[in-house]
Amino acid sequence: MSGEAAADAIEVVLATHNAHKVAEFQRILGARMPRLHVLGYDGPSPVEDGTSFAANALIKARAAAAHTGRISLADDSGIAVDVMGGAPGIFSARWAGHAAGDEANLRLLLAQLADVRRPDRGAAFHCTIAVVVPAELAGGEAREFVAEGLWRGALAYEPRGSHGFGYDPIFEPEGHEVTAAELRPEQKNAISHRARAFEALIPELQRLVAGVE
């Protein structure tokens, strides 16, 4: 980013070290707020000891805001399987263990559901996005806002598709016969749990950004 575009840019930090998430947030937010530029986070990862998506999102956003002094965003997302009582839920990213990756998490969940047939494979992606404006930008007292989105669907029996990440290859959204990983990125970004959370977040984010410019 350079020149006049750089001068007009509004930079916010996304509290993640995941480059896929940074790119996805930039696509979704950039389509609605063209001046917004989402930066990755290079600070320490806080302990996510909250017991809800909202609590963990706020923990991460507050840590990024404190470390960078910038308006910071964070999301806590996961998949909740009906027959498992909402698990993996907030443990989605480490379902197969703290050192496990997306593939191991996905394979473990499929194995746990091996004997479960339709229509009992219902699930939903949850997304909570928190935005924190640090006190120094907010006139002396930090400002916070939380938005939530839900994307219903069902779990496939095997992974399909090469787009997306996490549990996308086994999640079939309601009204679709393909997985989230088979949707084109622009399709997914228009209807996903994050897109739905952003619909609630955008008006507040615009107001918060305008308040610090």
Residue 167 backbone phi and psi in degrees, to 5: -90, 5
Give the integer Cα–Cα distance in Å for 1 and 4: 9
Token pair for residue 190? 């228009």
CA dihedral 60, 99, 188, 118 (to 10 degrees): -120
- Inter-residue contact 123 to 81 (CB < 8 Å): yes
- Inter-residue contact 85 to 92 (CB < 8 Å): no
Active site residue 76: yes
- Inter-residue contact 123 to 155 (CB < 8 Å): yes
Token pair for residue 192? 């996903």
The pairing of beta strand 10-14 with beta strand 122-133: unpaired
Q: Check 75, 76, 102, 168 and give the catalytic one.
A: 76
Give the integer Cα–Cα distance in Å for 171 and 194: 15
Q: How many residues does the chain have?
A: 213
* Active site residue ranges: 76
